[in-house]
Amino acid sequence: MPSRRNIVSFVLRYAVYAAMGVTALSLIGILGYILIHGILAFKPSLILGEYSSSNPAIGFSVFTTCVMIVLTLLIAAPLSIFCAVYLTEYAKRKNKIVTWIRLATETLAGIPSIVFGLFGAIFFGTVMRLGYSIMTGCLTVAIMLLPVIIRQTEEAIKSVPDMFREGSYGLGASKLRTVFRIVLPSAMPGILSAVILSMGRIIGETAALIFTLGTVAKFPTSLLDSSRSLAVHMYISTRDGGAAGREVAFFTGAVLIAVILLMNIGASYLGGKVGKDFEN
């Protein structure tokens, strides 16, 4: 007779295996399904050709997506990193501004992206007269990213041990030097992972972009042109394109996965390099 304890551990063990199996299978299943469909739909003209209803090429969209990632991060990352530095290193603990910024960032982090989309369309699109454009889209998504990057950078900065700061101040270093030479480099891995996560959010955003970036299927020639990111293109193709559109959507999905993969590899290479430089 197996004891009660044995039965419990038996059940637990297989529950763990089962959970692992279900998770792995569904992830691999989704990935495989998209990739297979995508690859089956592949023709070189789909990447390189001009977009038309007979040849729904997505080269323009890959380009737009990359531009969006770079520009959005250029706006959001410095702003939120400096803001986090202010919140953690400069602001006094009982400062009113800090309380307000905290409240605002926490609230913003929980708001659905479509609300940002509406705000961006009205403020950047109409009031600032940027219309449907890459610029409007980037500014909108940048605002969405602020709370996320601020919060994670704050965490990264807080996890830098105080003894590093004391060591620096003890040598007569100013606050500025301590922050930029000691604190930020030590927090860099955490900050980089925040930035990488936000790339994912830029790539995956649709709701906020439909109102701001717009849906024009064309190679943009300036930052004030409307275009489609890959995710927006998938959404529009699935919605309007019938069965053929769904094929295009799968193909776009496969390309999207490839872009994310490349980006992660690049970022972790970069992250490893930064970490190494600092340690050696």
Catalog residues that contact another protein under the rule CB under 8 A: 92-93, 161, 163-174, 177, 181-182, 185-186, 278-280
- Cα 136 from Cα 122, distance rounded (Å): 10
Q: Residues 213, 232: contact at Cβ < 8 Å?
A: yes
Q: Which of 138, 142, 141, 134 is nearest to 224 (CA)?
A: 134
Is 155 or 218 the residue whose CB approaches another protein more closely? 155
Which ranges constitute the DSSP H helices of 131-241? Answer: 134-158, 162-170, 175-177, 184-204, 207-210, 230-240
80 vs 168, beta carbon nearer another protein: 168
Integer CA distances (angstroms), 91 to 21, 58, 95, 148, 152, in order:
48, 47, 6, 19, 17
Distance, first Cα to last Cα, the chain? 59
Nearer to another protein, 106 or 277 (CB): 277
Alpha carbon of 20 to those of 13, 17, 23, 30, 114: distances in Å? 11, 5, 5, 16, 34
Residues 204/231, Cβ–Cβ less than 8 Å? yes
Residue 172 beta carbon to another protein: minimum distance, rounded to whole angstroms: 3
Nearer to another protein, 178 or 227 (CB): 178
Tokens of 24: 């792995």
CB neighbourhood size of 22 (10 A): 10
Tokens 């763990």 -> residue = 16
CA dist., res. 70 & res. 137, Å (int): 12
List, in order, residues 6 or more apart from 246 with CB less than 8 Å away: 237, 238
